[in-house]
Amino acid sequence: MRLFEQAEAKVRRLRRLASPLIWAGGTVHCPLCERSFRGFRPAGKRRTRRANAVCPYCGARERDRLTHLFLTSPDGPAPGSPILHVAPEACIAPRLRELAGGGYVTADLVRADVDERIDVMAIPHADATFHGVYCSHVLQDVPDDIAAMSELHRILKPGGWAILNIPVTAPVTVDHRDVPGRVRRPGDRRPDEHLRTYGRDFPQRMATAGFDAHVIVPEDLATAQERIRFGIDTTAAGSVYLGVKSQ
């Protein structure tokens, strides 16, 4: 199995190197790396496979491209420090570093390539430490998302912001932590994932944790033509869920 995984990693590396050449063209544009292509790479496996999803150069997905537009828009968060980036996406990091000035901190429960190993349900930081938090597509995998959001709210300074994007695929949130959507193989130390399927009531959950909740949709950030060009004219782009801590 190990040999197979190594071979798979090698194929992935080669594909990453070759992708910008294979997808050379000018039809779509990635606002993160500011490069154009004839299309975005597909994402997902078999049943969940979707076309026009991943930037061939920087790996940004639909949701990353949407949130980057918000982070760089006049209505986006003001610069300030420090900023905590949970389960950090490499493509989003440059903009967060820019907003944070010197104070950019990465964190994850199990990854080794981060500044801090933390459990978002019990964050080892004092109240009112951070100016901003970026925590995208994490909460669906956390056993108690309200506890996690309450912690993220606690460590924010008054007036601070948190981007708490999640996949919304149901009318109302369903908690199914006893039947996870993704169960790890025996020996895999990483926790099971998809313990919850979120619905359109997610802003109420943010409010329960103390946030002023704001939902920003693709139409707020780009024209119809731009949405096609940036590849965010699809439900996979989702929405930006912005939580603000009252002053």
Residues that bind Zn ion (CB under 5 A): 30, 32-33, 55, 57-58, 60
Cα–Cα distances in Å, from 241 out to 88, 155, 172? 17, 18, 16
The least distance separating Zn ion from the CB of residue 137, rounded to whole angstroms, comes to 18
Residue with Cβ nearer Zn ion (33 or 236): 33
Least distance CB 32 / Zn ion (angstroms)? 5
Of the candidates 116, 98, 165, the one whose C-alpha atom is nearest the C-alpha of residue 136 is: 165
Return phi, psi of residue 15, to 5°: -65, -40
Using DSSP, state whether 54 is helix, strand or coil.
Answer: strand
Which residues, in sequence order, are bridge partners of residue 105?
Answer: 84
**CB-wise, 29 or 137, nearer to Zn ion?**
29
The least CB distance from residue 28 to Zn ion, in Å, is 10
If DSSP codes are grouped into helix, strand and coil, which group holds residue 104? strand
CB of 93 to Zn ion, least distance (A): 13
Amino acid identity at 82:
P
The token duo for 26 is: 């000018």
Nearer to Zn ion, 31 or 160 (CB): 31
CB closer to Zn ion out of 32 and 107: 32
Please, what is the minimum distance in Å from the beta carbon of residue 39 to Zn ion? 13
Cβ-count burial 86-97 (b if 16+ within 10 Å, e if not): bbbbebbeebbe
Judged by DSSP in three states, 105 sits in: strand
Least separation in angstroms between CB 239 and Zn ion: 21
CB closer to Zn ion out of 58 and 83: 58
Q: How many CB atoms lie within 10 A of CB 148?
A: 23
Smaller CB separation from Zn ion, 24 or 110: 24
